[in-house]
Amino acid sequence: MTFSSSMVTYGRGKGIVVGVGMQTEVGKIAGMINNVKETETPLQKRLNSLGKTLGIACLVICTVIFLVGIAYGKNPVDMFMTAVSLAVAAIPEGLAAVSTIVLAIGMQRMAKKNAIVKKLPAVETLGSSSVICSDKTGTLTQNKMTVKKVFYNSKLYNLEVADRTCLLEKLIYANLLCNDTKITEEGELAGDPTETALTAMAFDLGFEQEHILENPREKELPFDSERKLMTTVNKIGEQYVVYTKGGVDELLAKCTAYEAEEGVRSDLEEYKKVIYKANEEMAKCALRVLACAYKVIDRVPTDEEMMNIENDLIFIGMCGMIDPPRIEVKDAVEKCKSAGIKTVMITGDHKITAVAIAKELGILESEEEAITGSDLEKISQEELTKNIRKYSVYARVSPEHKVRIVNAWKSNGEIVAMTGDGVNDAPALKTADIGCAMGKVGTDVAKEAADVILTDDNFATIESAVEEGRRIYDNILKVIQFLLSSNIGEVVVLFLAVMLTPLFANWFGISDISGITPLLAIHILWVNLVTDSLPALALAVDPAEKDIMNRPPRKNTKGIFTGGMIYRVVYQGIMIGILTLLSFVLGLATTKGIADGERIMIAQTMAFIVLAFSELVHVFNVRNNEKSIFKTGILSNKKLLLAIAVSSLLILAILFVPQLREIFSIAVLPKENIFEVIVLIIAPLVIVEILKLLKINTLKGKE
């Protein structure tokens, strides 16, 4: 059968069309792609859940504050404006924009590391990946065949230590002349990887292009998948030599003698034991073995004679070659292990080759961890899902098998990244949480189905992309913690102030209860605008923590609000709220003897300053929840320092520009209150640093 989209490189023939469109094999693959359902990324799921939770909580709190204020006799319009402004402040509406911007920045950073991200959420999904299903050829390996061992004169030699003996020279000539490798003007080898490897071996041993030109090809029998042989007739001096290379079994069936050190010998049947033993040893090393033979004839054969030329050959030897692993992949696999990410090899190659490469790269330890496509056929999807963790290597698999493997991992709650390059990889790329297509050798269909394109076709690029994805997710969590704790602080101060209004009136002797509020609507909105923008954006580009690839991936079932996150957001929000309310109380307590309106304005000014600047100070607390800011480095994020400086200037402008003071109803603070304000501003940093020192800033086991 010839499949649609196949390329015919030589020959001629006729075919009968047995299927078109969706009935073709390519059509079936297209159908598999269309049947894949689009799923939300982990980040999208968590942000959607966060939005619903905040929306409900905000409506309840704002309604309570509004109703309690009305019950205390406050102006309904003022309370409505306060409730609306609080609703705006409580919901971190800037989070969506910040998340989008940080993901876009992540896309740029990944592009510089040879990973082109097609969809923004894919940046974060890579960071959450717990399983990477990788193709072997070109991704884990160099996609460049290299001859490692040669067999001649009854011995197996490593190519590096093989001498250019007479017998080896015959073996080299056979593989160099019975070869379709082209040599470009730049001196590079072009052609089938197997044949270019044989040519490279010859050049490494001192042969040159002139050896090909001096021994021209007169006739040939191209390689045929049924014969598994290729034959050429070359003129060597005044003789004509037939050279044949191909599979060991197929070639030996055409031989009647073999080349030995003492000359040609005819006891081939006995010698085959030596040949097969050497072949088995090379196969155990995952080497692809090609045998070669020759015979001398006295003239150029006719076309009819060429059909039977592959007979009575003299066996010379064998070459064992391998597509070597990429040097950097072993370290990348080890880093993935440290990060709790399982690397799985899925390949169409033979099991023995896949196992050998996987062992060398550290993907598996025992052959029991490998399974073939034929064995997969005997296993139900339920059984595969149950036992999926047993296997690290899948060999001789089909497109349907790849989809089954990905679905089995996903059914176990894992976030799966899948690499591939061919049309047949497209369904699995589409099914996986994150599909990574090869940029160099990948087909257009694979690239279209994928979320990420690896421009260097390298597994190590995936590892660095995972690290970048984790950094981005960590920073988004920092932004969420910062925004929510700050916004909760605003809710707490207003909620407590409204509930305690009668007490404040009694304590401080204020007759007009309707004017007792620590923050005006315009104050809340301005603080929200200044602190939710530049500092949050700068926090989103925080550098990665050093141990980012030494911790397990976040579980797919975990939301943003883990126990530790809830704990920090709540206590830090309450801390900011109480400090702000305390500044308001101090303002009322230290200004007795002046008019109520002026007292309240001074107290509101203190609350405004403390709330605004304490949130800017608090941004340093969320950069690392365990280590002190003095260990992580205050200067390690210069963009954050710049953002805080700009935000501080915007707040100071309200305090020092008379026209803005009038608009925002801001008073000039008495000198005796300035020290109190400064202490309350830096208090969040001191409190959280103490809690970090006491190791109670996190809830271990609930993160």
Q: Which residues are catalytic?
A: 135
What angle in degrees, to the nearest 10, is found between the helix axes of 459-499 and 76-90?
A: 160
Residue 487 tokens, joined: 């916004």
Distance, in Å, from the CA atom of 295 to the CA atom of 293, rounded to the nearest integer, reads 7
What Rg value do the Cα atoms of the chain yield, rounded? 37
Residue 142 tokens, joined: 């160099």
Residue 235: phi, psi to the nearest 5? -90, 115
H or E element that contains 439: none
Residue 601 tokens, joined: 């304005």
Distance, in Å, from the CA atom of 304 to the CA atom of 473, rounded to the nearest integer, reads 70
Distance, in Å, from the CA atom of 193 to the CA atom of 348, rounded to the nearest integer, reads 17
Pick from 646, 642, 666: which is nearest to 656 by CA?
Answer: 666
Distance, in Å, from the CA atom of 256 to the CA atom of 246, rounded to the nearest integer, reads 16
Supply the DSSP symbol for 669. Answer: P
* Cβ proximity of 457 and 115 under 8 Å: no
Supply the DSSP symbol for 114. Answer: T
DSSP strand pairing (131-134 vs 342-346): parallel
Buried/exposed 618-638: b ≥16 CB within 10 Å, e otherwise: bbbbbbbbeeebeebeeeebe
Residue 654 tokens, joined: 């309200």
Burial of residue 286, with CB atoms counted within 10 A of its CB: 0-12 exposed, 13-18 middle, 19 or more buried? buried
Supply the DSSP symbol for 555. Answer: P
CB atoms within 10 A of CB 446: 25
Distance, in Å, from the CA atom of 92 to the CA atom of 330, rounded to the nearest integer, reads 43
How far does the chain reach from its first CA to its final CA, in angstroms? 56
Supply the DSSP symbol for 670. Answer: P
Residue 466 tokens, joined: 């995972």
DSSP 383-405: HHHHHGGG-SEEES--HHHHHHH
Distance, in Å, from the CA atom of 53 to the CA atom of 58, rounded to the nearest integer, reads 9
* Cβ proximity of 452 and 433 under 8 Å: no
- CA distances 58 to 51, 64, 236, 579, Å, are 10, 10, 90, 21
H or E element that contains 456: none
Distance, in Å, from the CA atom of 355 to the CA atom of 398, rounded to the nearest integer, reads 18
Q: Which residue has the tokens 């590892």?
A: 463
Distance, in Å, from the CA atom of 316 to the CA atom of 239, rounded to the nearest integer, reads 18
- CA distances 310 to 292, 301, 681, Å, are 12, 12, 91
- CA distances 201 to 77, 173, 282, 319, Å, are 88, 11, 17, 10
Supply the DSSP symbol for 425. Answer: G
Distance, in Å, from the CA atom of 92 to the CA atom of 484, rounded to the nearest integer, reads 7
* Cβ proximity of 176 and 202 under 8 Å: yes
Residue 563 tokens, joined: 């126990």
